[in-house]
Amino acid sequence: MPGLSVTGVRIALENLRSHKLRTFLTLLGNIVGTMSVIAVVSLIYGADQYARQKVLDEGTDVFTIMRVNPWEIITDFDLFLESLNNPDLTLADRDWLAPRLELARAVGAHVESTADLRAGSASYRGCEVRGKTAEYAVIEDLPLALGRHLTPADVSASREVAVLGWDIARELFPRSLDPIGKEFRLRGRHFTVVGVVEDLGTVLGGNRNLFVIVPITAWQKVFGSRQSIDIKVAVRDLERFEEAMDEATFHMRIRHRLRPLEDNDFGLATSEQLLQIWKGVAGAIYAAMVPLVAISLVIGGIVLMNVMLVSVTERTREVGVRKAVGASRWNIAWQFLVEAITLSLTGGVIGVLAGAGITWVICAVSDLNFAVPLWSVALGLGTTFLIGAFFGAWPAWKAAGLDPVEALRHE
pLDDT digits (tens, 9 = 90+) for 317-339: 666 666 666 667 677 777 777 77
Least trusted range by pLDDT, from 31-45, 280-294, 329-343: 280-294
What band does 12 get if pLDDT is binned at 50, 70 and 90? low
* Residues in the chain, overall count: 411
Give per-residue pLDDT as tens, 221-247.
999 988 999 999 999 987 888 899 999
Whether the predicted pLDDT of 183 surpasses 70: yes
Nearest Cα neighbor of 154 from 197, 202, 217, 205 is 217
Binned at pLDDT 50, 70 and 90, residue 122 comes out as: very high
Residues 96-108 pLDDT 10s: 999 999 999 999 9
pLDDT at 170 > cutoff 60? yes
Q: Calculate mean pLDDT across residues 67-75.
A: 68
Percentage above 90 pLDDT, the chain: 35
- Confidence check: pLDDT of 167 > 80: yes
Q: Strand, helix or coil at 373?
A: coil
Q: Residue 1 has what pLDDT?
A: 46
* pLDDT greater than 90 at residue 268: no
Centre a 10 Å sphere on the Cβ of residue 204 and count the other Cβ atoms it contains: 19
pLDDT top residue among 320 and 52: 320
pTM for this structure?
Answer: 0.61
Domain boundaries in the chain? 2-52+289-409, 87-265
Measuring CA to CA, how many Å separate 294 from each of 34, 373, 399? 8, 18, 29
Q: Give the Cα-Cα-Cα angle 114, 116, 122 (nearest 5 degrees).
A: 145
What DSSP element (H or E) covers 203? strand 202-203
DSSP string, 138-193: HHS---EEEE----HHHHHTT--EEEE-HHHHHHH-TT-S--TT-EEEETTEEEEE
Query: Which of 44-48, 350-354, 407-411 is most confident?
Result: 350-354
